[in-house]
Amino acid sequence: MKAIIRTDDGGPRVLQVNEIPAPIPTATQLLVNVHATALNRADLIQRRGGYPPPPGESEILGLEIAGTVAAVGHAVEGVSEGDRVFGLVSGGGYAEQAVIDYRMAMPIPDEWSFEEAAAVPEVFFTANENIFTLGELAAGETILIHAGGSGVGTAGIQISHRAGANVFVTAGTPEKIHKCKILGAIEGINYKTTDFVAEIEHLTDGEGVDVVLDFIGAPYLERNLSVLKTKGRLLQVGLIGGATAEIDLGTLMRNRLKIIGSVMRPQSIDEKIAITQRFVDRWLPEFKRGALKPVIDSVFPLAEVRQAHTYMEANRNFGKIILKVR
């Protein structure tokens, strides 16, 4: 099969198309003919040599797949060859074939394209687990979502709004802020021109927010804590700006704040199956009704993966960047 391999040939950590053996499914896995996958920030980090896959998982980049079942393991139940499925994987998405545990493979709604299906798992799973399972956001509460135009940001806006929360976002352009409002954000803050701390204080009449979803890390830590209400929750899901920072622990104690960190990839298969099921139970029906939608910025052929990575690194996308495999 063809797959995208990370190599140092022709430059440091270059991605190129290679022919490699297809993966062999275990008893509980499906072999999937991949039609589409998607980019995530984790792919950029892995390409540079960080964020390795868990032991035993594919070294190939790509954390989500959408395609048709080519073969099934002998212990698989309820899935047949030819079925259209999509789901989260720990690696292997940038390839013509990949394997996935059948308990993490979801049926693609009939009206969806493979590209739409590939735009969902990583970002909606991440948003749901952090905002609701860990952050316990409730109807009537207020959330600040940084990087509102990112894949997780666009997912988080939609499900938070759908759950009856008030959503504020940060983004880097007026155009992205406008699109965030269409998805359900009440107001957007241009982080390049405006201090989000002062703006949140203004927008909330000094009350602050109940939850912050952050991808930046160190430069935002103290500022994020300062905009939280008493018993507020900071959900740390990225470290784009750095991993080391100092804070006033007194603020944490006085206001009874929580800082909750989360990474999806290293979690066990049982945890990922549970994460998948929580998404299916709560949100997949909303997708089928059209109340939620995948947000796709652009689609690149698999052979143009380098260009796709460059595009994401420039922060040009609003929503997901898709790689079309077939």
Instruction: Please tell me the predicted confidence (pLDDT) of residue 11.
Output: 53
Q: Of 261, 287, 314, which closes a domain?
A: 261
**Number of structural domains in the chain:** 2
pLDDT one-digit tens code per residue, 273-303: 999 999 999 999 999 999 999 999 999 999 9
Residue 143 has pLDDT above 60, yes or no: yes
Cβ pair 89, 267 in contact under 8 A? no
Q: What is the pLDDT of residue 126?
A: 98
Tokens of 196: 């989000």
As given in the structure block, the two tokens for residue 200 are 């949140």
Residue where a domain stops, chosen among 216, 245, 261: 261
Same-domain check for residues 41 and 89: yes
Residue 235's domain spans which residues? 123-261
Residue 13 has pLDDT above 90, yes or no: no
Asked if 175 and 215 sit in the same domain, the reply is yes
Asked if the model's pLDDT at residue 7 lies above 90, the reply is: no
Rounded distance between C-alpha atoms, residue 212 and residue 236, angstroms? 8
- The CATH code of the domain that includes 168 is 3.40.50.720
Are 82 and 204 in the same domain? no
Same domain, 132 and 256: yes
CATH number reported for the structural domain that contains residue 297 in this entry: 3.90.180.10
Dist. CA 316–CA 319, nearest whole Å: 10
Residue 131 reports pLDDT greater than 70: yes
Name the pLDDT band for 49 (thresholds 50, 70, 90).
Answer: confident
User: 129 and 184 in one domain?
Assistant: yes
Segment 58-85 mean pLDDT: 98
Q: Are residues 37 and 137 in the same domain?
A: no
Burial of 60 (0-12, 13-18, 19+ CB in 10 A): buried
Q: Are 305 and 103 in contact (CB under 8 A)?
A: no
Same domain (yes/no): 130, 213: yes
Same domain, 151 and 257: yes
Mean pLDDT of 235-243: 94
The answer to whether residues 255 and 273 belong to one domain is no
* pTM of structure: 0.96
- Residue range 136-150: average pLDDT? 98
Q: pLDDT grade, residue 321 (50/70/90)?
A: very high
The answer to whether residues 155 and 46 belong to one domain is no
* 48 vs 92: which has the higher pLDDT: 92
Q: Would you say residue 171 has pLDDT above 60? A: yes
Say whether both 164 and 228 belong to one domain.
yes
Domain boundary among 214, 242, 261: 261
Let me know whether 154 and 41 are in one domain. no
Q: What is the pLDDT of residue 9?
A: 60
Q: What is the mean pLDDT of the chain?
A: 96
